[in-house]
Amino acid sequence: MATYESVIKITGAVGDLVFYNLNGKNVVRKKSGFNKTAFKKSPSYEKVRQNSSEFGHCSKIGKIIRKSVENYTREAGDPLLYQKFAKVMTAIKDLDKISERGKRTVANGLKTEEGKMLLREFEFGGISKVAECISIQDQMLCKRGECASEQTLFMTIKLDSEKYITESTEEIIQWNKERKSSFKNYFSNDDVLLYFAVLKNKHNEITHMGFV
């Protein structure tokens, strides 16, 4: 962008240049090469359209998942949580091998063991991952002995990746002597379900948090 002086005031496009007034100054810039019509229809933009569609999908899915657990994750105080979570959503989406490019989904990526692992390994701020302490085996929660806690909160989150909504339930887990506990099955096994847990110490401080 550049300013210009002329006795003739020009407004509009002349060749590859666009003239206009900005804050009282006469400004000229080169035309942008972006064309909306070409972006929507031209075969040369096909890969860009595919990437744009999947990026928007990952952003929306990441937002609704983060929203469902934000009562706890805000305590992590991580200003870069949005960017970090969007990145892991993209990585999970890339694991969808059954959909064509441009239509890959996070939900399909989460059906793979690699996708589930990426979610379990995600760390909220500096708070330790709950997967270091808790696992799910045969519809039972199992806690490792080295992770002591006064309270365990467990969430089941139903993810609807078509309507971009979630449903969730919460319960306080009671551990038996074998450090195991059953949890209620609130949704159908055909749904895409995520499991999230929070461990707190006797001072009600979160010690571990994340997806199981």
pLDDT in tens, 133-175: 999 998 899 998 677 788 999 999 999 988 999 999 999 999 9
Are residues 185 and 137 both part of a single domain?
Answer: yes
Residue 41: what pLDDT?
62
24: helix, coil or strand?
coil
Are residues 141 and 174 both part of a single domain?
Answer: yes
Are residues 76 and 23 both part of a single domain?
Answer: no
Are residues 54 and 29 both part of a single domain?
Answer: no
| Rounded (5°) CA angle 125-126-131 | 90
- Report the number of distinct structural domains present in the chain: 2
User: Contact at 8 Å (CB) between 17 and 31?
Assistant: yes
Are residues 27 and 111 both part of a single domain?
Answer: no
Residue 31: what pLDDT?
64
Are residues 5 and 86 both part of a single domain?
Answer: no
Give pLDDT < 70 ranges for the chain. Answer: 1-12, 15-16, 23, 30-45, 145
Residue 27: what pLDDT?
73
The structure tokens listed for 102 are 């441009």
Residue 49: what pLDDT?
85
Are residues 17 and 122 both part of a single domain?
Answer: no
Rounded CA separation 11/193 (Å): 57
Residue 25's domain comprises: 1-33
Q: Beta strand pairing status for 25-30 and 128-129?
A: unpaired
Q: Which alpha helices (DSSP H) does 30-174 contain, by range? A: 36-41, 46-73, 81-93, 106-109, 113-120
Are residues 58 and 29 both part of a single domain?
Answer: no
